[in-house]
Amino acid sequence: MIVKLMRTAKITLFFLISLCFSLKGWTFQKAMDINNINSVRQVIPFNQDWQFKKATYKTNIAIAGGEWQTVAIPHTWNNKDIQKGKNFYTGDAFYRRELVAQKEWKDKRVFIRFEGVGTVADLYINNKLIGTHKGAYSAFCFDISNSLRYDTINTIMVKVNNEERPDIIPINNKLFGVYGGIYRPISIIVTSKINITTTDYASPGIYIKQDVNNKKANITVTAKIENKERQVQQITVKTTISNKNGTIVKQVQQLQNVQPQGINIVDQQMQVNNPHLWDGRKDPYLYSLTTAIIKDGKTIDEVTQPLGLRYFSVVPGKGFYLNGQPYRLYGVCRHQEWQDYGSALTNAQHQSDLDMIYEIGATSIRFAHYQQAEYIYAKCDSMGFVIWAEIPFVNAVSTEEGDNAKQQLTELIRQNYNHPSIYNWGLHNEVYSSSADGFVPVLTRELNDIAKTEDPARFTASVSGYGEINRPSNLAADIQGINRYYGWYEGKIPDLEGWVTGLEKEYPNYKVVLSEYGTEANVNQQQEKVDDSGDPSGQFWPETFQTHFHEVQWGIIEKHPYLVASYVWNMFDFSVPSANGGGIPARNMKGLVTYDRKIKKDAFYWYKANWSQEPVLYISGRRNTDRIEAITTVKVFANTSSVTLYVNGKKVNQAETGATKHDFVFKNIHLVKGINRLRAEGYFNEKLQSDAIEWTLKK
């Protein structure tokens, strides 16, 4: 008995110390995160000191058998094996942690919120099943108030499974691996008994609708409030809009009787005159909006959300308009994985990815092919990206996944409704039907109806891998995305021109996005002479081919504002377990940056020269160092007014213009045997920019 009491005391002390450090870290790290600035609701990180083991037997309760190891969340058990090939572990695994319920929680509500678990999660409190969530990419939240014990230590256990299932999207691991594990953060949320809901598909519980122009913004805030007291309660609901400096610009409040049954819906209207508009990368201005519940003069719960006031439209044939002005959408797609980490990424790693996308000059991102981390969407708000968010109805169809697709779309929209950066909800990618009445077209129409009912203000999109507009699985959404890989999977690189001009002629009033284009590149493979078609089934994927590909295709895309947006596939290399090409197994190397984020490929600098407002001057071919051609061409990607090239200290002839005005092409350059030193110079806003590389001409 004494030993047991000592053990309990140690665990309680350990938990309290851990909690103090967690809260201290939370205060420091999250102070600028608008979703966590809250003095009355506790949001406690719950990510350290988890016990983990893979299943060695079939059971729902992991009591005995197998070795437990201590892990921190985010965690995945596939961070290495998926990246090696097909034979990676899918199946059951268990996560276990102890929790001491604090006495002050007794008169409150306690929730546990998971931001992402791949793929199926069964939550147990003290060996009692609380609930199940299906889907690897969306958040979910369970009320555990009535299952916690206050006289002993509680055991939190999560059974996780990432096996392929026909009823959960994506239904297979072939296009990208679905990493198993609790790979995004966990929080314990403690609220009063009257609270803004946390369990409405794990949404913030408030929804900000806006009707905006340059002179005024009409705002409606819908709050979903729960009352777990026994009687009807009178509260005050107060909503406050503050500017970037924290100054209150608008505030409304109203008395409200809240019922102890069901959900209480409270709408509040506000108007902001002469609003400071959220204007993409030019000026991503954010207000904050806080909805608070006040009882007996005291704030008992509140939720704060970002508020970016903006309006957008698509004009057929002319493209995307933000706040009434043309705003060209060009950018990249992004998968949420890093080499050796898989999908279990820190916020610092997410930020690193966004920083590189910002550096390249992209105005838009397509987050493919699933809901990504909440940190990502919040940072896109503050960095000014215009983004496309989508669900993983992708690659293959079983006809059993309809309910789960609807669930994941609802989660995606409700959890991210208030982010001003999102312009588009993606419904499907490269799933097909032979008939307009087949499973995919019918489900897509149902998904579109859900999206437009949940959020009529944003666009919806579906995506086809075929070049034709009028296919059975197309045209059920506002925007038709089309993935085109001319020069790689079909035809030649310049064929993109004929495709887009054909669409302009045949479908002038359609909203069309080039949702993917790109080609593979192994930075350790180079060639001097490049053709207009590659070999996707081969083992030679030279970086120089990728560079040529993007020079030609961006040169075409730039001339066609008919395309509402265009997205390079992909910003970063990523794993495909079934892939085997380009000299590296299980790797898709269409990225502009290598899987380990250490090398920005030449094509990265091509786009940076064309897109960025920062100075760029870059000599292409720096890894193509061993040369056999004595007479060659040198290309410099730059946004300077002009470029001067020196070869072995001698100035060469003036450059010709290549695919765009940022492509400086120096032809008939004579190399000498041995080392050749190339230096390029140019001026950006009267400041000298330069770059230098070396090539070696072999005998």
User: Of 500, 430, 508, which is closest to residue 471 (Cα–Cα)?
Assistant: 430
Residue 182: which H helix or E strand, with range? strand 181-182
Q: Which residues contact 3 (CB under 8 A, 6 or more apart)?
A: none
Report residue 446 as tokens.
């149902």
What is the rounded CA–CA span in Å between residue 548 and residue 157?
52
User: Of 556, 13, 570, 20, which is closest to residue 333 (Cα–Cα)?
Assistant: 570
User: For residues 612-636, b (16+ Cβ closer than 10 Å) or e, as one string?
Assistant: beebbbbbbbbbbeebeeeebebbb
The answer to whether the beta carbons of residues 279 and 323 sit under 8 Å apart is: yes
What is the rounded CA–CA span in Å between residue 33 and residue 36?
6
What is the rounded CA–CA span in Å between residue 138 and residue 117?
8
DSSP label at residue 538? S
In terms of Cβ atoms closer than 10 Å to its own Cβ (0-12, 13-18, 19+), residue 656 is: exposed
The answer to whether the beta carbons of residues 236 and 251 sit under 8 Å apart is: no
The type of residue at 391 is: I
What is the rounded CA–CA span in Å between residue 196 and residue 223?
7
What is the rounded CA–CA span in Å between residue 669 and residue 632?
5
User: Of 524, 525, 185, 607, which is closest to residue 356 (Cα–Cα)?
Assistant: 607
Pairing of strands 329-334, 364-367: parallel
Q: Which residues contact 454 (CB under 8 A, 6 or more apart)?
A: 410, 413, 414, 417
User: For residues 297-322, b (16+ Cβ closer than 10 Å) or e, as one string?
Assistant: eebbbbbbbbbbbbbbebeeeebbeb
In Å, what is the CA distance from 69 to each residue of 72, 125, 201, 699?
A: 10, 20, 31, 58
Angle (CA) 592 631 540, round 5°: 35
Q: Which residues contact 403 (CB under 8 A, 6 or more apart)?
A: 167
Please tell me whether residue 584 adopts helix, strand or coil conformation.
strand
List the strands of the sheet with 663-670, edge to edge. 617-619, 631-638, 663-670, 656-657
Residue written as token pair 């809260």: 23
Report residue 241 as tokens.
């809009």
For the beta carbon of residue 371, count every other beta carbon within 10 angstroms.
27
User: Of 555, 556, 533, which is closest to residue 545 (Cα–Cα)?
Assistant: 533
Residue 164 annotated among the catalytic residues of the structure: no
Residue written as token pair 């071919």: 621
User: For residues 520-544, b (16+ Cβ closer than 10 Å) or e, as one string?
Assistant: bbbbebbeeeeeebbeeeeeebbbb
Q: Which of 115, 302, 411, 430 is catalytic?
A: 430
User: Of 613, 181, 171, which is closest to residue 404 (Cα–Cα)?
Assistant: 171
What is the rounded CA–CA span in Å between residue 84 and residue 78?
10
Catalytic positions: 430
